[in-house]
């Protein structure tokens, strides 16, 4: 995939629909820092903080299926976009960035999730 291809995206409303389907094939990655996740999180996401990249990057293709649908979230959608690009550059074929991140999810889907 060329570097400049747009990263596929999913809205927070689409994410909520997908989570409601309880799809076991869905891989969910949260790239925020542990202190951010402690404030606000969505059940089912694996936390792979970008600051801990060296700790998880070498085993990502064994811990995750590179061909399964993988949704990535952060606070507003910028760090998750970086992660999506990295995953696509490293052999992942079905990656989507969650537009607006957990902030948009708290605003439009689940108002019980704290804003920060």
pLDDT tens, residue order, the chain (116 aa) = 445 568 999 999 999 999 998 767 899 999 999 999 999 999 999 999 999 999 999 999 999 999 999 999 999 999 999 999 999 999 999 999 999 999 999 999 999 999 99
- Over the range 55-76, which residues count as b (16 or more CB within 10 Å of their CB) and which as e? ebeeebeeebebeebbbbbbbe
Give yes or no: 74 in active site. Answer: yes
Q: Domain spans of the chain?
A: 9-108
**Active-site residue among 74, 81, 102, 106?**
74
**Distance in angstroms (rounded) separating the CA atoms of residues 96 and 68:** 11
Record the tokens describing residue 51, joined without a space: 């600051």
Contact criterion met (CB below 8 Å) for 71 and 15: yes
Residue pointed to by tokens 């989570």 = 19
- pTM attached to this predicted model: 0.93
Contact criterion met (CB below 8 Å) for 39 and 114: yes
What's the CATH number of domain 9-108, 3.40.250.10, 3.30.1600.10, 1.20.1280.260, 3.90.550.10?
A: 3.40.250.10
């Amino acid at each position: 995939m060329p570097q400049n291809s747009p990263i596929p995206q999913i809205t927070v409303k689409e994410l909520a629909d997908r989570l409601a389907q309880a799809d076991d094939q869905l891989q969910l990655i949260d790239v925020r820092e542990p202190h951010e996740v402690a404030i606000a999180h969505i059940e089912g996401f694996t936390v792979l903080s970008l600051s801990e990249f060296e700790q998880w990057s070498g085993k990502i293709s064994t811990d995750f299926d590179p061909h399964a649908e993988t949704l990535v979230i952060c606070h507003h959608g910028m760090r998750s976009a970086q992660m999506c690009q990295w995953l696509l550059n490293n052999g992942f074929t079905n990656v989507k960035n969650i537009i607006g991140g957990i902030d948009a999810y708290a605003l439009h889907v689940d108002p019980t999730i704290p804003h920060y």
